[in-house]
């Protein structure tokens, strides 16, 4: 299965290289990233130093999660909700702001402040008037729109999907999100883009209907209603001094969404390793007792 995936990824990487060579090269977003395979058959990009959370012993880098949350909060949250998350989740073990001295995530001062900076609609208990109150750690992330029609009206008819489990909802997970955010190339000559739509080399879809060139060389990717959200270096200021380039912001927010989609990953991996260790010791003991039981038996 892996081999097949590699073969598919290799083929589509070739196709991509042929179809948008000039576009991909003169665009800085491709720099510092390498092509990787994914389960979807698309050839996706991954950050130059890979994903820290992949592999049997991979884990999330807490600084990266904090940067990613900042990118989400300052850029993406204007359009995308994460309705499965509450502020206190950010302070749970493995989360961006977990501190061992605050066993109860509701006591974590950083997360308390982050929540309190956000105003939520409420009702004044005395007068019954609608009022705005500061969010508490137990509150869920606010939705950016009052309702779905409002969301569509403000996005040219398209609905910005909830990002809570986005890394699980798309083939390639974090690599897909990273590729999408850094995949807004200039549409090649001969590709017409409808108003309100944007060309992205990694969006699922088909460019054939809007491609006037040689059908064998139609550009990869598709169109979506989201304009490139990360457009300039330094758009988000990182508190840990990491250079805030577009690929860095994209990698950080993709990591943060990967964590949100699977917040128990680290616990699960540790448990898996412990179980395997236990089974190995057990197998050894069983082997020894087997030797002992059959010691004096002719066979
Ligand atoms: C101005 C509003 C806006 C902002 C800001 C924004 N998005 Fe979007 N996003 C959208 C809309 C609208 C869609 C749906 C596009 C469509 O279906 O054509 C979308 C779709 C997506 C998708 C799904 C693409 C797919 O495969 O269907 C992902 C992932 C995504 N956005 C991630 C992000 C991230 C991460 C950020 C922050 C860095 C961000 N968005 C910022 C409006 C926005």
Residues 256, 168 share a domain? yes
Hunting for tokens 């190339």 — which residue is that? 185
Give the closest residue (by CA) to ligand 1 atom 6: 76
Residues 297, 211 share a domain? no
Residues 284, 224 share a domain? no
Predicted pLDDT at 131: 94
Task: Give the domain extent around 234.
Answer: 2-83+163-263
Confidence of residue 298 (pLDDT cuts 50, 70, 90): confident
Residues 167, 79 share a domain? yes
Residues 276, 182 share a domain? no
Lowest mean pLDDT among 48-57, 178-187, 281-290: 48-57
Predicted pLDDT at 27: 40
Q: What is the DSSP string of the chain?
A: -HHHHHHHHHHHHHHHHHHSHHHHHSSGGGTTEEEE--TTSS-EEEETT--TT-STT----HHHHHHHHHHHHHTGGGT---TT-BGGGGGSTTSTT--TT-SSGGG-HHHHHHHHTSEEEEE-TTT--EEEEE--TTSBPPPSSSSHHHHHHTTTT--PPP-TTHHHHSTTHHHHHHHHHT--PPPPTTB---TT-EEETTSSS--GGGB-S-GGGPPSSEEESPPPS--STTSS--TT-----HHHHHHHHHHHHHHHH-TTHHHHHHHHHHHHHHHHHHHHHHHHHHHHHTTT---
Is 212 within the bounds of a domain?
Answer: yes
Residues 272, 255 share a domain? no
Residues 169, 74 share a domain? yes
List the structure tokens of 114. 């982050």
Is 249 within the bounds of a domain?
Answer: yes
Cα–Cα distance, 299 to 288 (Å, whole number): 17
115: pLDDT strictly greater than 90? yes
Residues 3-50 pLDDT 10s: 444 444 444 443 443 344 334 433 434 434 455 443 334 589 999 999
Is 258 within the bounds of a domain?
Answer: yes
Taking the centre of ligand 1 as the mean of its atom positions, its distance from the CA of residue 80, in whole angstroms, is 7
Taking the centre of ligand 1 as the mean of its atom positions, its distance from the CA of residue 221, in whole angstroms, is 15
Side-chain-side CA neighbours of 59 within 13 Å: the count stands at 13
Predicted pLDDT at 170: 94
Is 27 within the bounds of a domain?
Answer: yes
Does any ligand 1 atom lie closer than 6 A to the CB of residue 166? yes
Does any ligand 1 atom lie closer than 6 A to the CB of residue 260? no
Q: What is the phi-psi region of residue 287: left when phi exceeds 0, alpha when psi lies from -120 to 50, beta otherwise?
A: alpha
Cα–Cα distance, 72 to 220 (Å, whole number): 27
Taking the centre of ligand 1 as the mean of its atom positions, its distance from the CA of residue 77, in whole angstroms, is 10
Taking the centre of ligand 1 as the mean of its atom positions, its distance from the CA of residue 161, in whole angstroms, is 7
Does any ligand 1 atom lie closer than 6 A to the CB of residue 249? no
Does any ligand 1 atom lie closer than 6 A to the CB of residue 229? yes
Cα–Cα distance, 265 to 65 (Å, whole number): 14
Residues 299, 258 share a domain? no
Is 273 within the bounds of a domain?
Answer: yes
Does any ligand 1 atom lie closer than 6 A to the CB of residue 82? no
Predicted pLDDT at 152: 96
Is 280 within the bounds of a domain?
Answer: yes
Does any ligand 1 atom lie closer than 6 A to the CB of residue 170? yes
Does any ligand 1 atom lie closer than 6 A to the CB of residue 154? no
Does any ligand 1 atom lie closer than 6 A to the CB of residue 158? yes
DSSP, collapsed to helix, strand or coil, labels residue 224 as strand
Is 119 within the bounds of a domain?
Answer: no
Report the number of distinct structural domains present in the chain.
2
Q: What is the mean pLDDT of residues 218-223?
A: 94
List the structure tokens of 35. 């092509």
Is 101 within the bounds of a domain?
Answer: no
Partner residues linked to 134 by β-bridges: 119
Hunting for tokens 């805030």 — which residue is that? 244
Residues 73, 196 share a domain? yes
Residues 48-70 pLDDT 10s: 999 999 988 899 999 999 999 99
CATH (domain of 238):
1.10.760.10
Does any ligand 1 atom lie closer than 6 A to the CB of residue 177? yes
Residues 54, 39 share a domain? yes
Comparing CA positions, the residue from 91, 47, 84 lying closest to residue 66 is 91
Residues 251, 207 share a domain? yes
Residues 55, 22 share a domain? yes
Atom of ligand 1 nearest to the CA of 230: 38
């Amino acid at each position: 299965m892996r081999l097949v995936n590699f073969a598919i990824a290799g083929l589509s990487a070739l196709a991509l290289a042929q179809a948008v060579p000039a576009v991909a090269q003169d665009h800085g977003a491709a720099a510092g990233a390498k092509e990787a395979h994914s389960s979807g058959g698309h050839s996706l990009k991954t950050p130059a130093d890979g994903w820290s959370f992949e592999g049997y012993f991979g884990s999330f880098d807490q600084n990266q999660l904090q940067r990613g949350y900042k990118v989400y909060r300052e850029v993406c949250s204007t359009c995308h909700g994460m309705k499965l998350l509450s502020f206190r989740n950010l302070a749970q073990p493995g989360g961006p702001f977990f501190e061992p001295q605050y066993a109860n995530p509701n006591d974590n001062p950083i997360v308390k402040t982050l929540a309190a900076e956000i105003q939520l609609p409420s009702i004044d208990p005395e007068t019954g008037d609608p009022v705005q109150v500061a969010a508490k750690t137990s509150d869920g992330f606010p939705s950016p729109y009052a309702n779905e029609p409002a969301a569509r009206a403000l996005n040219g008819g398209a609905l910005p999907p909830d990002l809570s489990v986005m890394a699980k909802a798309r083939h390639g997970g974090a690599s897909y999100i990273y590729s999408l955010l850094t995949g807004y190339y200039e549409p090649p000559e001969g590709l017409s883009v409808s108003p309100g739509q944007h060309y992205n080399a990694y969006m699922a879809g088909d460019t054939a209907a809007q491609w006037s060139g040689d059908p064998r060389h139609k550009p990869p990717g598709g169109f979506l209603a989201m304009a490139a959200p990360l457009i300039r270096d330094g758009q988000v200021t990182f508190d840990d001094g990491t250079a805030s380039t577009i690929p860095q912001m994209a990698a950080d927010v993709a990591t943060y969404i990967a964590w949100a989609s699977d917040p128990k990953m680290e616990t699960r991996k540790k448990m898996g390793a412990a179980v395997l260790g236990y089974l190995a010791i057990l197998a050894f003991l069983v082997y020894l007792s087997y030797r002992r039981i059959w010691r004096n038996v002719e066979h």
